[in-house]
């Protein structure tokens, strides 16, 4: 099946730093990528939808200046958490899809802000 690679899988950093998470579709060209946030034992919360070459569409309540999304190519999208604080600590998951095909998920990134 389709493979989506997400990197890093776990990152710990100090409060105030920025963290970049990469999401790559390895064996298909993804027209759309999605970024989710998930707290323990809770559902996935969609943060934004990213289409190649255009600005991301953010869900209500998600700060676009805090969570910068770039989708520069059909195989790569990045999420940058700017000036991260402890409340940004969470599990972030990306997914990629093409047309009507199901979303394929990355393995997620555990972000811990000290």
Nearer to other proteins, 76 or 108 (CB): 108
Say how far apart CA 99 and CA 102 lie, in whole Å.
9
Residue 19 near residue 86, CB atoms below 8 Å: no
Say how far apart CA 51 and CA 8 lie, in whole Å.
22
Is 41 one of the binding residues for other proteins (CB under 8 A)? Answer: yes
Residue tagged 């323990």 (tokens):
40
- Per-residue binding string, other proteins, 79-98, x by CB under 8 A, is ------------x-x-x-x-
Is 105 one of the binding residues for other proteins (CB under 8 A)? Answer: yes
Say how far apart CA 93 and CA 97 lie, in whole Å.
14
**What is the contact surface with other proteins in residues (CB under 8 A)?**
32, 34, 38, 41-44, 46, 49, 51, 57, 91, 93, 95, 97, 100, 102-103, 105, 107-108
């Amino acid at each position: 099946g389709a493979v989506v690679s997400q990197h890093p899988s776990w990152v710990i950093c100090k409060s105030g730093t920025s963290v970049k998470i990469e999401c790559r579709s390895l064996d298909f060209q993804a027209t759309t990528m999605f970024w989710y946030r998930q707290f323990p034992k809770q559902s996935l919360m969609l943060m934004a939808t990213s289409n190649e070459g255009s600005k991301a569409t953010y869900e209500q309540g998600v700060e676009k200046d805090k969570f910068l999304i770039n989708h520069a190519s059909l195989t790569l999208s990045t999420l940058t958490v700017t000036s991260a604080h402890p409340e940004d600590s969470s599990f972030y998951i990306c997914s990629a899809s093409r047309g009507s095909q199901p979303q394929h998920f990355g393995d997620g990134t555990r972000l811990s802000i000290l």
